[in-house]
Amino acid sequence: MRRAVYPGTFDPCTNGHLDIIRRAAKQFDEVVVGVLRNSAKTPLFSTDERVTILNEVTKDIPNVVIKSFDGLSVDFVRMCDAQVIIRGLRAITDFEYELQMAQTNRILAPDIDTMFLITSLEYAYLSSTTVKEVAAFGKSVDKFVPPFVAEKMREKLRCE
């Protein structure tokens, strides 16, 4: 089975992430979306909330599985018995960090390859960070995230 892991923070999942997940799912028998637990960032959504959101927004894609993980991506990839790491590339600004990470992972695990999917043009500007900023100022994020995520963001910000 050709299995890929798409690791990330997904705080929260945007239309850009979902586009990468859908496209990766067409290329592999199974795509495991790995939600990083101990990110250096302080997330708006807890790990369990991010997993719930991803489960909901990918429920129509049968070969996508959502899991959370701690530690190094390559260890998680091995645990999943996968061969490939998927990452999305938006702009040249993503490139340097992604290149560094892919090369480090290649030294750590030469049997695992990183594959980059270039963002679809309509999502090239999108990031979880800007979506959170827009929401924090009370503006609609309906154009940036799936409806379920927009609703969860409204709930979350009402509670804050």
Which residues are marked as active site? 17, 41, 90, 128
CB of 68 to ligand ADP, least distance (A): 13
Check binding of 56 to ligand ADP (CB under 6 A).
Answer: no
Token match 């997330």: residue? 43
Residue 51 touching ligand ADP (CB under 6 A) = no
Written as six digits, the tokens of 61 are: 């894609």
Does an H or E element contain 21, and which? helix 15-27
Q: Note whether 114 binds ligand ADP by CB under 6 A.
A: no
Q: Which of 4, 5, 10, 28 binds ligand ADP (CB under 6 A)?
A: 10
User: What is the 3-class SS of 98-148, one letter each residue?
Assistant: HHHHHHHHHHHCCCCEEEEEECCHHHCCCCHHHHHHHHHCCCCCCCCCCHH
- CA dist list (Å): 152 to 11, 21, 82, 156: 11, 20, 31, 6
Cβ proximity to ligand ADP: between 132 and 158 the closer is 132
C-alpha to C-alpha distance for 104 and 88, rounded to whole angstroms: 17
Should residue 50 be labelled a site residue for ligand ADP when binding is judged by CB under 6 A?
Answer: no
Stretch that binds ligand ADP, among 23-31, 51-59, 87-95, 148-156 (CB under 6 A): 87-95
- Which residues of this protein are in contact with ligand ADP, per CB under 6 A? 8-10, 14, 16-17, 20, 87-88, 90, 94, 119, 123, 126-128
